[in-house]
Amino acid sequence: MVKKKRLRLIAEMARKIRAYRELKSRPRESQKYALDYETMKRPFTGKMLPVLAWQDVRRESRLFSLLAGMRLFGVGRLFTRKSWLEDHSEPSYWQITKVKVDYTSENMDHGKAWGILTYKGKKESEVKEMDKVMYHDWRLIPKHMEQQFKDFEPLPEPPVRYVAYPPLLRAMLLAQQKKGGGSRAAEEPVLPLKRDVLLNKDYFHTQEQERQRKEGTAV
């Protein structure tokens, strides 16, 4: 007969209280990313911004500095970044769909925002949280230019080129194909000159979800 586990109500309540106090004591983003524009230091961490960023910090704006003065906090409008305008000829921008403002921050210039990303002319289908909202390089796209950004058509993908494998690796692949295919003639292995895997956190998260879907989760 399995022994029934005794509930420790006081210990469980104490654990919840500690977790609640830890959650309440965490610094808000308005405290974590606050900046002294005279010394270019963050008061919370004491870290100084890189010297190369000082000019943009003094001239450009954070995302929520722009949203705070707009109707409905800019929902539906298009925003881009200075670095995107300088680095890419194709339009890259966010279309904001949802905003959550930190009302405890001064001037309400901190919070979280969600939207649809169009990067290098390619529009994504899913809404996701916008990153780097505390950077000082955000710009509002004027309304008379929004249609110009939206009507951009990306260039077609160039055809994939192939090269032959090195001799030793080619021989190994041919032997493996012949072993697996029996009497069927082995196909000539070629290596595509294309990198279609973007190694970011979304890629690894998708791979982990796919692995759990196939193998299942541990009980």
pLDDT tens digits, one per residue of 122-168:
888 899 999 888 888 899 999 999 998 888 877 777 777 888 888 88
Reported as a pLDDT band with limits 50, 70 and 90, residue 92 is very high
Domain total for the chain? 1
In a domain, 107, yes or no: yes
Average pLDDT of 9-30? 82
State the residue range of the domain holding 38.
31-153
pLDDT at residue 93, as a whole number: 94
pLDDT at residue 95, as a whole number: 94
Q: State the average pLDDT for the chain.
A: 82
CB 119 within 8 A of CB 149: no
Average pLDDT of 193-215? 70
The dihedral sign for the CA sequence 148, 150, 153, 159 = positive
Cα 104 from chain centre? 26
In a domain, 171, yes or no: no
In a domain, 176, yes or no: no
Average pLDDT of 59-71? 87
In a domain, 35, yes or no: yes
pLDDT at residue 203, as a whole number: 67
pLDDT at 184 over 60: no
In a domain, 219, yes or no: no
CB 161 within 8 A of CB 193: yes
* Stretch among 28-32, 40-44, 108-112, 137-141 having the lowest mean pLDDT: 28-32
pLDDT at residue 5, as a whole number: 65
Reported as a pLDDT band with limits 50, 70 and 90, residue 219 is very low
Reported as a pLDDT band with limits 50, 70 and 90, residue 182 is low
Please count the other Cβ atoms lying within 10 Å of the Cβ belonging to residue 211: 10
pLDDT at residue 118, as a whole number: 92
Question: DSSP E strands: which ranges in 151-206?
Answer: 162-164, 190-192
In a domain, 81, yes or no: yes
In a domain, 111, yes or no: yes
Question: pTM value?
Answer: 0.60
Q: Mapping DSSP to helix (H, G, I), strand (E, B) and coil, where does residue 56 land?
A: helix
In a domain, 75, yes or no: yes
| Distances from the Cα of 33 to the Cα of 13, 30, 41, 136, 193, angstroms | 33, 6, 10, 12, 42
